[in-house]
Chains A and B, each alone.
Chain A
C-alpha cells in the first residue's frame, strides 16, 4: 500500500516531557512536511524538507525539531512540551512541490 503513515495515532503527556512522532511515506516523493492543526482547525506549516533543504517556519518554537533518516521518513521531536502544543500534527509528502498527500495525523494532548 502506498500512502503516508503516522504513529502514534494519539499521545497524552505531561508538561515538560519530550515526545517524538514518526512519519513514513511509501509514495516515492522527494519532499515531506509537518503541519500543526489547532483546535480551530487552522493548518500551519511547521517544516518542509527535501534531500537538499530544510525550510523552517520562523514562528515555530525552537523546542520543535524535525529528524530525517532518508527521504521516506521525517520524524518530529518536541523537547519540552507545553500546553499550547496540544493539537493534531499532520505529516504530508509531495513530488517536486505539487499535490500534497497527508497522513491521518497524531493527536497530542498535553496535561
Chain B
C-alpha cells in the first residue's frame, strides 16, 4: 500500500481559477513534506517544502500542513495553462534525508 496518497487523481480548473491538491501520509514517521511538479517529458521539479504546521506561501502557491492528521494541501491561485502538469507530494522522516517517499500524483489541467 502506498504510504503517501494524493487526491484527486486528476483535476481540471479554468484559467485564473484556484486548484487545490491534497496529500496524506499513512506513516506517522513521515511528517516532512515537499511538493514537486512534473511537466510532460521532463523530470520533477521542486515547488516548495513545508515542515511546520500552518500555511506557507510562495507566489501563487500556498501549502498547508496539519501534522496531527498528516495532511498537506497545495493551493494554486490564478492558475495558468503553464501550471498544467503532474504534481507529486513527497514525504520524509527528517527535513534532510535520503529516504523520501513520493505520492501517487495528481494531474492538473488548466483550461484556457
Q: Which of B12-20, B58-66, B74-82, B95-103 contacts A (4 or more CB under 8 A)?
A: B95-103
Contacts of A97 in B (CB 8 A): 92, 94-98
Q: Once the chains bind, are A96 and B43 in contact (CB under 8 Å)?
A: no
Whether B99 pairs with A43 at a CB distance below 8 angstroms is no
**A101 surroundings in chain B (CB, below 8 A):** 45-46
Residues of B within 8 A of A103 (CB): 43
Verify if B112 is at the interface (C-beta below 8 Å from A).
Answer: no
| Cross-chain contact B98 with A48 (CB below 8 angstroms) | yes
A45 to B2, CA, bound (A): 13
A105 touches B86 (CB 8 A): no
Contact between B43 and A50, CB atoms less than 8 A apart: no
In this complex, what residue of A is CB-closest to B98? A48
Complex partner residue of B100 from A4, A90, A96, A100, CB under 8 angstroms? A100
Point out which of B38, B88, B94 has the most chain A C-beta atoms below 10 A from its C-beta: B38
Chain A contacts with B in 1-41, Cβ cutoff 8 A = 4, 31, 33, 35, 41
CB distance from A8 to the nearest CB of B (A): 15
Bound CA–CA A45/B99 (angstroms): 9
Give the residues in chain B near A50, CB-CB below 8 Å.
98
Which residues in chain B, 31-73, are within 8 Å of chain A measured between CB atoms? 34, 36, 38, 41-46, 49
Return B91 CB to nearest CB of chain A, in Å. 12
B107 to chain A minimum Cβ distance, whole angstroms, is: 8
| Residues of B near any A CB (own CB < 8 A) | 2, 34, 36, 38, 41-46, 49, 86, 88, 92, 94-102, 104-105
13 contacts between A and B (CB under 8 A): A42-B104, A44-B102, A45-B101, A45-B102, A53-B98, A55-B98, A90-B43, A90-B44, A97-B92, A97-B95, A98-B49, A102-B42, A104-B42
Known contacts A42-B102, A55-B99; 5 additional CB pairs below 8 A are A42-B104, A97-B95, A97-B96, A100-B36, A105-B43
